[in-house]
Structure 1
Amino acid sequence: MTGSDATGVTDAEREALLDRVNDQSATIGASVPDEVEIDGTAVDLSTFIVECRKVDAIPPAMERKVASTREALRAERERRVERLETDPIDRETAETLAEAVIGIDRALNALSTIRHPSFADEHHADRLDGHERWLAFVDQVR
Structure 2
Amino acid sequence: MQEFERKQLLERVEREGATVGADIPETITVQGEELDLRTFVFEIKRRETVPPGERDRVEQAKRNLRRERVERLERIEEGDISHTKGDELAQSIIGIDRALNALENLGPTDIEREQQVKQAADTKRWMSFLKQALGRDDDQSARRGR
Smaller-chain TM-score bracket: 0.7 to 0.9
Q: CA deviation at 1:70?
A: 0.5
Provide the rounded CA distance (Å) in 2 between the counterparts of 1:56 and 1:27: 23
Q: CA deviation at 1:17?
A: 0.3
Percent identity of equivalent pairs: 38
SS of alignment partner, residue 98 of structure 2: helix
Q: How does 1:54-65 map to 2 (within 5 A)?
A: 54-65=46-57
For 2:19, the aligned partner's letter is: T
Structure 2 unaligned blocks of 5 or more: 109-117, 135-146
State the TM-score, normalized to the length of structure 2.
0.73
Q: CA deviation at 1:57?
A: 2.2
Q: Which residue of 1 aligns with 2:115?
A: none
Q: CA deviation at 1:56?
A: 2.7
Q: Which residue of 2 aligns with 1:105?
A: 97
Structure 1 unaligned blocks of 5 or more: 1-8, 117-125
1:41 aligns with 2:4: no
Provide the rounded CA distance (Å) in 2 between the counterparts of 1:101 and 1:67: 19
Provide the rounded CA distance (Å) in 1 between the counterparts of 2:58 and 2:4: 37
Q: C-alpha root-mean-square deviation of aligned residues, in Å?
A: 2.7
For 1:35, the aligned partner's letter is: T
Aligned residues: 123
State the TM-score, normalized to the length of structure 1.
0.75
| Aligned equivalent of 1:92, options 65, 84, 104 | 84
Provide the rounded CA distance (Å) in 1 between the counterparts of 2:7 and 2:70: 16
Provide the rounded CA distance (Å) in 2 between the counterparts of 1:25 and 1:55: 25
Provide the rounded CA distance (Å) in 1 between the counterparts of 2:31 and 2:49: 30
Cα deviations across residues 22-71 of structure 1 (Å, max 9, x unaligned)? 11211111111111111221111111111112223212221111111000
